[in-house]
Structures are given as C-alpha cells and as structure tokens.
Amino acid sequence: MLKLLNLLKDGRFHSGEALGAALGVSRSAVWKQLQHLESELNLTIHKVRGRGYQLAAPLNLLEAQAIAKFSHGEPWPVFIHETIDSTNAEGLRRIAQGQAAPFLVLAERQSAGRGRRGRPWVSPFAENLYYSLVLRIDGGMRQLEGLSLVVGLAVMRTLQAFGLKDVGLKWPNDVLAGGRKITGILLELVGDPADVCHVVLGIGINVNMQGNEQIDQQWASMRGEAGQLVDRNHLVAVLSQQLQHELGRHRRYGFAAFQEEWEQAHLWQGRKVSLVAGTSRIEGVALGVDGQGGLRLEVDGVEKSFSGGELSLRLRDDS
C-alpha cells in the first residue's frame, strides 16, 4: 500500500495503466488497492476517466532518509510504521525486546493513540506527527524531575522555529497555539526509577490537519497557524535537535535551570485556575512551578505545590 501511496503522494493524476506497470500488478489490482486506501486510511481519491487517479491533497510521508537529510549531527535510530496502535506502546515493546536506547518511533497513523488520563489521541493518516523518543535513564529520580515540562519547552521552540508566534505552555504537558491545544505530551516509565529505567517521551503534534470532528476540544494545527503545509520530515529533524539540546541541559543541571524560562512561557501565569483531580477541585492562582516541576498555587493566601499525573489544570470562568 505504501508503494502506491508513494506514487500518488505528489497530488497529480496517474493513469491506472502507469500505476499497474510501476507496481507490477493489473489495473484491477490497482483499483482494489485504491479502494483499500480510501476505506482504511480515509483518503479521498479523485477518479477521472481519461486522466486516472489523483489524491485530493498531496501527501508528505515520513522517510528515514529525508529526516537524516534535514538533521544536523547523528540522528537517533528511527522506526517508522504505516499504522500502529500507538508509538508509545511500540517503544515499550521494543524496550522489552532489548532494543538499545535512545531510539525513535514514528507512525503515519495510530489506531489507539493515547493522551493523558487515558484519553484517546485522534491520529489521522499522514497529517500529524506521532513521535515517541525512548531514553535510558541512569542515576535515579533527579533525572526525571520536570522532564515533561522540559519536553514542552523543546516542542514550543520547535513550533516557533517553523514560524508560529502565538504559542505557549499550559501546565503540565500541553502546548497551545492561539489559546488552543496543538500538542500533547505523554511520558511513560518502565524499570526502576531509583536506579536504571527507560522513559518514553510521547509527543503528538497537530501538523497539517485542517478538520476533524472526533476531537472534543478546541485545537489548532501548524498549517492553520502558519498558513502553509509543513514538511513532517523536517519537523522531526528540528524537534529531535531541540530535544537533544534541552535534554542535555536537563541531565547536567536538572529542572531548576529551566524553572524561570518555563514560567515565562506559561500562558496561565497569574491567572485564576482550578486544579482538578477526579471529583476534587482546588481553586487558586497559578504562581508558576517549583524546582521539581510541580505546580505552585496560591490557595487562600497560602502558596502550595502540587504534582501528579492525574491532575488537570483549567481556567476559572472569572479569570
């Protein structure tokens, strides 16, 4: 199927005869593959008698060689999948199979993409970025403090490098553009956090998506914000470079070195917020983060810190 997509990805018309010759199959076999592409990947293909077949929009498929071309220095080993349950799940499987870290897992589509607190992550084919970086962590818990916030900073700077201006952070793991969610970050840990463990840094970025009725919250995409198609291979290379730089700083200096710059990028700094954990709700004013990446809130005139993977931060209606 990817061979046929590579022939069609330019968005031009291709005759059934030419496609069949390139694939070494009959025209009827080409027709069946085209139907499969439409039904399985939800792609729109125009069929015009005398001209052939054309994708409704050009596709930018992920390719290891293209990523390497855009990369400075030695890129991480990368495993690219056409369809997978989730890139984080595949990263965890590869750890169990003995794959040496660091390495990168990418996918054109996720059938069971996951966000924080078990939420599904909508993952249409070849439109967005589904990116999981697997790292080996030596030296215990200090290497994990504030790590998701550091990843958020790296993503934000990557988006800015692609021309997005109105971008910032929302504690703990979201990147917003124009006040709408453009990136989600999910970290998963396996092993002994007090000694040697592996962490999967899962990053989902809305890249070229223009519409999707499955998403139940306000969202933005790089294409919508920048007004042009984004080369996802270029995006992978720039994001990886930013992560290499920021993760190196984090290893050397810990999260305390990022605290001030993270707070400067926090869009809800000084705002009235609600911190939600299950059915409980804490009202306060967002003061920033502490040296471990926990949220600092002013609650009834007293500063308190909160951390935990099940917490969700929301703006109060009167903020």
pLDDT digits (tens, 9 = 90+) for 130-148: 999 999 998 777 788 999 9
Domain 64-263 has CATH 3.30.930.10: yes
| pLDDT at res. 72 | 84
Q: What is the pLDDT of residue 116?
A: 59
Query: What CATH number belongs to 2-55?
Result: 1.10.10.10
- Burial environment of residue 70 by CB neighbours within 10 A (0 to 12, 13 to 18, 19 or more): middle
Fold of 268-315: SH3 type barrels. (2.30.30)
- Residues of the chain with pLDDT > 90, as a percent, come to 54
Does 223 belong to an annotated binding site? no
- Structure-derived torsion over alpha carbons of residues 79, 84, 86, 88, reported in degrees to the nearest 10: -20
**pLDDT above 90 (res 273):** yes
**Pairing relationship of beta strands 302-306 and 295-299 according to DSSP bridges:** antiparallel
pLDDT band for 43, please (50, 70, 90 cuts): confident
Report the greatest alpha carbon distance in the chain: 75
- Please check if 114 is assigned to a binding site: yes
Helix (H, G, I), strand (E, B) or coil at 6: helix
Residue 6's pLDDT band (cuts 50, 70, 90): confident
For the residues 252-273, what does the mean pLDDT come to?
93
> Residues of the chain with pLDDT > 70: what percent?
94
Q: What pLDDT, on the 0 to 100 scale, is given for residue 187?
A: 93
Q: For residue range 172-228, what is the model confidence (pLDDT) as tens digits?
A: 889 999 989 999 999 999 988 888 899 999 999 999 987 655 565 688 999 988 888
The pLDDT value recorded for residue 217 is 62
- Arithmetic mean of pLDDT, 53-74: 86
4 pLDDT higher than 70? yes
115 is in an annotated binding site: yes
| pLDDT greater than 60 at residue 158 | yes
- pLDDT value, residue 222: 93
Residue 33: is its pLDDT beyond 90?
no
Is 60 exceeded by the pLDDT of residue 41?
yes
Handedness of CA 270, 275, 281, 287 (dihedral sign): negative
Is 272 a known ligand-binding residue? no
Catalytic residue annotation: 116, 181, 314
pLDDT at 25 over 90: no
Please work out, in degrees rounded to the nearest 5, the angle formed at the alpha carbon of residue 128 by the alpha carbons of 175 and 248.
55
Query: Residue 88 annotated as binding?
Result: yes
What is the per-residue pLDDT for 205?
95
Question: Domain coordinates of the chain in residue numbers?
Answer: 2-55, 64-263, 268-315
Q: What's the rounded mean pLDDT across residues 49-63?
A: 83
Between residues 56 and 238, which one has the greater pLDDT? 238
87 is in an annotated binding site: yes
Domain 2-55 and domain 268-315, same fold? Reply is no
Question: Which pLDDT does position 1 carry in this prediction?
Answer: 67
Contact of 202 with 186, CB cutoff 8 Å: yes
pLDDT at 73 over 80: no
Residue 93 annotated as binding site: no
Higher pLDDT: 41 or 94? It is 94
Range with the poorest average pLDDT among 62-76, 104-118, 174-188, 267-281: 104-118
Query: Is 36:1 a contact under the CB 8 Å cutoff?
Result: yes
Answer with the residue of higher pLDDT: 297 or 192.
Answer: 297
Please report which confidence band the pLDDT of residue 161 belongs to, taking 50, 70 and 90 as the band edges. Answer: very high
